[in-house]
Every structure is written in structure tokens, then in C-alpha cells.
Amino acid sequence: MSDSSGWFYCLTHQTVEHGKGCKGADRMGPYPDEAAAARALEIARERTRAADEADRKHRGDD
């Protein structure tokens, strides 16, 4: 069950949604507020870069 009261970023429409919106597979979130949802793709990129860096350090590639 997904949280239908939070803020989400819809990948299909590239818009921020509050509460019920597009199906869960097409959305990122929930986020605590509209501004965070609007930054969903940027947040995802930042988290991916951090995870990739942690993987490199774990493997000893630095």
C-alpha cells in the first residue's frame, strides 16, 4: 500500500502530485513537501552518485 497523502513526482507527466495521482510505478516518493518532490530527479542523481562512490571505496578503487 502506498502513502497517498504525501508529495510525489510523476515520471510520466514530469509534474509534482499531492495525494492520489498516477499509478505508483510511475511516481517517485513520497517526499515531505512539494519542493522536495520537485527535486526528485536531482535527489535520485545525488543518491546514485553517493552510492557509486561508496561502492568504489568498498572495492578499494579510490
Evaluate if pTM is beyond 0.85: no
Higher pLDDT, 38 or 2: 38
Task: Tell how far CA 20 is from the center of its chain.
Answer: 17
Asked if 17 and 31 count as a contact pair (C-beta separation under 8 A), the reply is no
Residue 46, pLDDT > 70, answer yes
Q: Residue 48 contacts by C-beta under 8 Å, 6 or more apart in sequence?
A: none
Domain boundaries, the chain: 7-56
Q: Which three cell numbers stand for residue 24?
A: 505508483
Q: Which three cell numbers stand for residue 20?
A: 492520489
Residue 56, pLDDT > 90, answer yes
- The secondary structure of residue 56, as a DSSP letter, is H
Residue 18, pLDDT > 90, answer yes
Residue 1, pLDDT > 60, answer no
- The secondary structure of residue 42, as a DSSP letter, is H
